[in-house]
Amino acid sequence: MASTKSLLTMEFLFILSWWCLGGEQLSHAHTKSTLKPGEALRYPDQLVSADGRFRLGFFSFSSLDVSDVGYLGIWYSKDDYHTKLWVANRDSPISVSTANLTMEADGQLRINVNNGGSTIPLNSKQTAPNSSATLDNSGNFIVKELNPDGSTKRVLWESFDYPTDTLLPGMKLGIDHKAGKEWILTSWLSEQVAAPGGFSLEWSPVNGTGQLVMRHRGNMYWLSGVGSKSDFQNIVDQMTSDYVYYNFSYIFNENESYFLYSVPDGRISRLVLSSDGMLTDYPKPIYVRSGMCFGYSSEPGCVQQTSTSCRTSSQKFEQRKVRFPEGVSEWDYNWNTSISDCWTKCWSSCSCVGFQTNSSTGTGCLLYSGQFVDVENGINPQQIYVLITPKTMILGCLCFWTKKKLRRDQESNQEVEIALLFGDTKEASNDGKKGHDVEVFSFPSIVAATDNFSSENKLGQGGFGPVYKGKLPEGQEIAVKRLSRSSEQGLVEFKNELILIAKLQHVNLVRLLGCCVTGDEKILIYEYMPNKSLDFFLFDPKKRELLDWKRRRNIIEGIAQGLLYLHKYSRLRIIHRDLKASNILLDNDMNPKISDFGMARVFGRNAADEFTKTVVGTRGYMSPEYALRGNFSEKSDVYSFGVLMLEIVSGQKSTGIYHPEHHLSLVGYAWELWREGKGLELMDSTLVESHSEHQILRCIHVGLLCVQEFAVDRPTMSDVISMLTNEYLPLPIPKQAAFSTQRQLTVAGLLGGENECFSASATMTISEMDPR
């Protein structure tokens, strides 16, 4: 009797312990972390990491009696959301009830389908005898070749090298230069289909850190902004909340350049890129919301998408319970499309006002047109994305001009166009009232801030007009740019700069704080740059000594990153057209910020170049195709950047004369020295103590590639940054530099130092002498 009672007690304790520990963990107590040659893993058995945090096994999205189609994947053991972190066979779903994972004698890891009828190899090119496959405590599934004593000889293959839609702590996002491959995330097609979807997330190096770049079907969609130790510029608020903490690392060497992160021990973290473009440490916080950057979006980091003329910035799609009396207008049975593809397809069709997916798995599209009816209750109300046009919002930024100023003459129309640029601004009469990402200031407040534009506060004079230092009542220092009534730039350039810079956000672009228009006064207010502009230091015999090589290199790379953003990553594709030393401002830490967008042009995403009859720019910095023919493109800015690089290296102005016999410009002088193998002679003598000979010569080399005669030969800014940051990347030999020889222009010489306008149709005579 006692023995029976003891036995019952033991059974009770076993059942109680099973219940307390969570039946799943105990039921798989026989599982282990490693698969050895000759062993097989079948559903529902799992590999469990040594610390119990991760599991690997077969899974399906429904019970096996409904459908056993599924995948082999990895997930957290204690995850209430059952999020799959990695999928081995995302392109080839299988019958999980008849599949198994085996390791062959030669070390090949493969999924056997239909009881061995077919196979999916995982490491077919990375095998070796005496191997094993282990689910590591990091969540990485690793195939290792072993020594006779069982220790690791080498890693043959690892799941971290083949990420799907999730980045775990310790995983790399970036480029393996040695192997010639990238580590990128690719979203699932839908929540139930693991096949590659429409979104990808990649890593783009920036000045020793970098930024995350999200793409949709290959097109730029969202940018995180430059990263710091624990957050990114465009999502800093979400990443600095009380319950979020990251430690970011940025690695750059000859073999790899990548980003990875870590979190405090014990916290479950996984950055997931979802099928609808959401980026989240699942399930929260959410860093990029679903569909956030589609259409017209002013959210931080969003890259402006191409839109048809029938769509407006006030329109957007919202998910609602609605009914379309006319039914579906178009069926799309392409099961390789996802909800994001439906979004772009509907947005591009002027007749489409609603969409949803076409299957229970979240693929295909159903498009709707006509009127819809909101249905909260009723028979099977459906959640459908429908086109909404909100009430007109006040987006303005300028002081209000009443509509009585509307007249037929062109000048008044220009003023009204600016005043109504972002909408009616009646409510923006108070100082500091925010509109389209900038603030509105009254003229009296600007007068007070600058002490009535006193000469003591004057910082400089540009083509736009004078610039003054000011201080707001709360103590913030500002730079006030006042349009001169005699300015050549005038109203058009004022409006141009206001529109463009208000839509730009980058660490290497000057930040516009606000503006004001009162009568004839047109004013822009910027963040104050205490170190003025680059030319203030670079061309001063004493002050340039403060610019050691490390600072100059940082300035070069910062300008390059700012230009790359303008050309490729901003919501608008922008050509600056007036890049020069005086338009590069320096902050407290001597970091560069590109300024003066009065002459900038918005450029078509697919345009190669454009033409203007009026060439506006600065002599010595203009590319030949722009100065002589009026053609401008990204390569025009690349030319200006090349000239600026040579100035930074040499400490000399581009407009000087550097050869008594041939009257060479700085570009010509650099070209001649490089051809003769004397490139270091171009270096500023103040850099003797701080320079790196290799880096100096590489910068001169890249600079000469940027100033080549023909635009097609010049690199893009993406190429330039790769050349500057990857010192092991081979450089092509530069061809003939533009304006390197004596050129006589009947209109005007290009070696002067002032801003000029030229007629692009003007005739010119060119004679060349080969430099000796």
Tell me the C-alpha distance between 196 and 351, whole Å: 29
Tell me the C-alpha distance between 378 and 397, whole Å: 45
Token pair of 355 as six digits: 């969409």
Tell me the C-alpha distance between 669 and 683, whole Å: 12
Tell me the C-alpha distance between 653 and 386, whole Å: 58
Q: How far is CA 544 from CA 459, 541, 551, 686, 713, in A?
A: 19, 6, 11, 8, 32
Considering the entire predicted model, what is its pTM?
Answer: 0.56
How many alpha carbons lie under 13 Å from residue 397 in its C-beta half-sphere? 22
Token pair of 600 as six digits: 């900038």
> Do 460 and 532 form a contact (C-beta atoms < 8 A)?
yes
CATH architecture of residue range(s) 25-162? Orthogonal Prism (2.90)
Token pair of 89 as six digits: 């066979």
The topology (CATH level 3) of 403-527 is Phosphorylase Kinase; domain 1 (3.30.200)
β-pairing, 279-281 with 439-440?
Answer: unpaired
How many other C-beta atoms lie within 10 A of the C-beta of residue 21? 12
Tell me the C-alpha distance between 268 and 266, whole Å: 6
* Equal CATH topology for 25-162 and 403-527: no
541's CB contacts (< 8 A; 6+ apart) are none
Best CA proximity match to 583, nearest among 628, 621, 540, 625: 621
User: In this predicted structure, what is the pLDDT of residue 210?
Assistant: 86
Angle at 286 between CA 285 and CA 289, to 5 degrees: 165
The DSSP code for 578 is -
Q: Is the peptide bond before 541 cis (omega within 30 degrees of 0)?
A: no
Angle at 233 between CA 228 and CA 238, to 5 degrees: 100
Q: What one-character-per-residue DSSP string does 596-610 give? A: --TT-EE--TT-S-E
Give me the residue spans of the domains in the chain: 25-162, 316-388, 403-527, 534-759
Where does 371-480 have alpha helices with state H? 410-419, 443-449
Distance of CA 321 to the CA centre of its chain: 35
* Mean pLDDT split into 10-residue runs, the chain, 772 residues: 41 41 39 92 95 95 72 94 94 92 94 84 90 97 94 95 97 92 96 95 83 93 89 80 79 91 86 96 89 87 82 86 86 91 94 92 92 70 80 33 35 39 36 53 91 90 82 91 67 73 82 83 90 93 93 94 88 86 92 88 63 70 85 92 96 76 80 92 90 91 95 93 86 85 39 41 33 30
Of 136, 281, 341, 578, which one is the catalytic site residue? 578
CATH 1.10.510.10 fits 534-759, yes or no: yes
242 catalytic residue (yes or no): no
Where does 730-770 have alpha helices with state H? none
Token pair of 573 as six digits: 């594709």
